[in-house]
Structure 1
Amino acid sequence: MEDTAHQVPETGRSRRPRGGGAWSRYASALRTPKGMAAAILLVVLIGGALLAPVIFPGGYDQQARGALQGPSGAHPLGTDEFGRDILVRTVYGLRTDLSLILTAVPVSLVIGTLLGLAGYVSKPLGAVFQRVLDIILGFPGLILGIMIVLVIGTGWLALFLAIAVAGLPGFGRMARGGLLSEEQREYVLAARVLGVKRSTIMVRHILPNVVDPLLVQASVFMVIAIFIEAGLSIVGLGINPPNPSLGAMLNVGARYVQTLPSYVIGPGVMLLLLALAFTLLSDALNQAATRR
């Protein structure tokens, strides 16, 4: 009986490639035109952000003699109102945005997934968490971010919390939907009858089969997170100066757009490239997930 208990769930799990199947599917997604374009863009952007202190050892707050100078060989995007190089601050702003996105979104993914799957452990607890997620979903991301910033103040932590909390409903509801679908599968029901532990069923059979849509959702939410940061920073509720972020630079640069258009062109193009990279990545992952 013990041997059978291990064989039946494995058979049911055959609907999903085992071992390296998932990784090979994701790798194949990166070999598609969209996946390759996303990978190249992300490597360039993340590499530039990581190497910013090496490429620009003077830092983002180093001042030149002239303020609001136009583009030149020394300053390709010109200088800001304090004589600081706009290109340098744009690269450091990208570094700030990536630090937010690449930490807040995974945290939101993990917590949201756990909240969505809590119903498998306790149905009343799962129902409570779903109501909480419904309440959060009722607030647009920007409004939710403003409320968080007003409570704890501006800065990196406030933006991190705003992005992480805003993503919980999407991940939680998707995980919940996957749970309700998978727990009615024949191999899950067979595992229950044969006495397999609920934790084992969750880890080995349910969770692996809801990973694909969650990863696609995560890449989509990366784009949303970019614009949450930009939106909050544009209204003055983002990163505290003199620390740069792309949204904060757009906020200040809008005042000088008539005299120095490059002040907003630099961070604006960087935001668009970042959003484009994650959009292409989400499309590639979605195509790979639907082909499993």
Structure 2
Amino acid sequence: MTTTAPPSRRPRRSGVSPSLRRYGAALKSPRGLVGIIVILVLALLSVSAPLLFPDGYDVQSSESLLAPSFTHLFGTDELGRDIFVRSLYGLRTDFSIIVVAVPVSMILGTILGLIGALSRVAGTIVQRVLDIILGFPGLVLGICIVLVVGPGWVSLVIAITISGLPAFGRLARAALMSQMQREYVTAAETLGVSRLTVLGRHILPNAIDPILVQGAVFVVQAIFIEAALSIVGLGIQPPQPSLGALLNVGTRFINQAPTYILGPTVLLLLLALAFSLLADALNETVNRK
């Protein structure tokens, strides 16, 4: 008598895509975990600022330039306003700039980088324009935009968006040039598949990983562009707070109140460090792939 072995069970495939599994592994790494926790805590504080302090960030008192205490964690400013409250609202302003400017820069830069797949001439022209933008440091570019648009939230978003275009455009262009030489792209074009379909199905997925890593890196750059422009008085204008605007005012009173800029500086560095850790974790995962 012969016996047949029971059919072996095939392992179940997870419904999660490989890209999402990689990103999940990056967030579970020590650096990624610390970075995302700090970002979530700071974001929660900024979002909850109107609930925690419903009176707003411009409540004045006679207790000016006080040192940090249990009553005023970061002390008070020259008008007796609580610097901790203003720092949380300033953090809220910084997050609003990041959330708008960085994704817009990523999308526009990627589109500009992939234009070469549709027209070689247009792609060459776009790359020359991106090279010109790359020749301007972020601060100089921001100053030029502020002179045209005027200081404020809108000019900061425009400056950050434009300054990020070359990096995202070059990454998308590099993915385009490497994938267009592959045999499966040539085969798809031979079969009559449109360029847009090739871009969406083959080229863009291969560019997503480095673009996301660059996005996390660019957030750090955006934070310091906002701080630099606000410190020189070309960013957020008083009485609206931002971390850079608080540092701008604090430097004027550094002799009377040396701890004035301590709180905003710590929040600014924590925010930059958290996104740097997240970028390192994502970059390590992409390179491992």
Q: Separation in 1 of the partners of 2:94 and 2:116?
A: 34
Residue 95 of structure 1 is matched in structure 2 by 92
Q: Separation in 2 of the partners of 1:106 and 1:136?
A: 18
Residue 209 of structure 1 is matched in structure 2 by 206
| Bigger Rg over Cα | 2
Among residues 48, 53, 60, which one is paired with 2:50 in the alignment?
Answer: 53
Q: Which runs of 5+ in 1 are unaligned?
A: 1-16
Helix, strand or coil for the counterpart of 2:261? helix
Residue 11 of structure 2 is matched in structure 1 by none
Helix, strand or coil for the counterpart of 1:84? coil
Give per-residue Cα distances to partners, 1:133-163, cap 9 Å, x unaligned: 0111110000000000011100000000000
How far residue 77 of structure 1 moved from its aligned partner, in angstroms, is 1.3
How far residue 73 of structure 1 moved from its aligned partner, in angstroms, is 2.2
Q: Separation in 2 of the partners of 1:279 and 1:72?
A: 31
Residue 157 of structure 1 is matched in structure 2 by 154
Q: Superposition RMSD on alpha carbons, in Å?
A: 1.3
How far residue 19 of structure 1 moved from its aligned partner, in angstroms, is 6.0
Q: Separation in 2 of the partners of 1:133 and 1:33?
A: 36
Q: Separation in 2 of the partners of 1:34 and 1:77?
A: 28
Q: Separation in 2 of the partners of 1:161 and 1:67?
A: 35
Residue 185 of structure 1 is matched in structure 2 by 182
1:5-44 correspondence runs (5 A): 20-44=17-41
Distance 1:170 1:128, change over 3 A: same
Residue 197 of structure 1 is matched in structure 2 by 194
Residue 82 of structure 2 is matched in structure 1 by 85
How far residue 68 of structure 1 moved from its aligned partner, in angstroms, is 1.1
Give per-residue Cα distances to partners, 1:103-162, cap 9 Å, x unaligned: 101000000000000000111111111111011111000000000001110000000000
Q: Residue 64 of structure 1 contacts residue 85 of structure 1 at CA under 8 Å; is this kept in 2? A: no
Identity among equivalent pairs (%): 58
How far residue 255 of structure 1 moved from its aligned partner, in angstroms, is 1.3
Distance 1:142 1:201, change over 3 A: same
Q: Residue 38 of structure 1 contacts residue 281 of structure 1 at CA under 8 Å; is this kept in 2? A: yes
Among residues 233, 237, 240, which one is paired with 2:237 in the alignment?
Answer: 240
How far residue 186 of structure 1 moved from its aligned partner, in angstroms, is 1.7
How far residue 45 of structure 1 moved from its aligned partner, in angstroms, is 0.6
1:282 aligned partner, one-letter code: A
Q: Separation in 1 of the partners of 2:52 and 2:150?
A: 32
1:134 aligned partner, one-letter code: D
Give per-residue Cα distances to partners, 1:237-275, cap 9 Å, x unaligned: 010110000001101101112221221011101110000
Q: Separation in 2 of the partners of 1:287 and 1:203?
A: 25
Residue 105 of structure 2 is matched in structure 1 by 108
Distance 1:262 1:231, change over 3 A: same
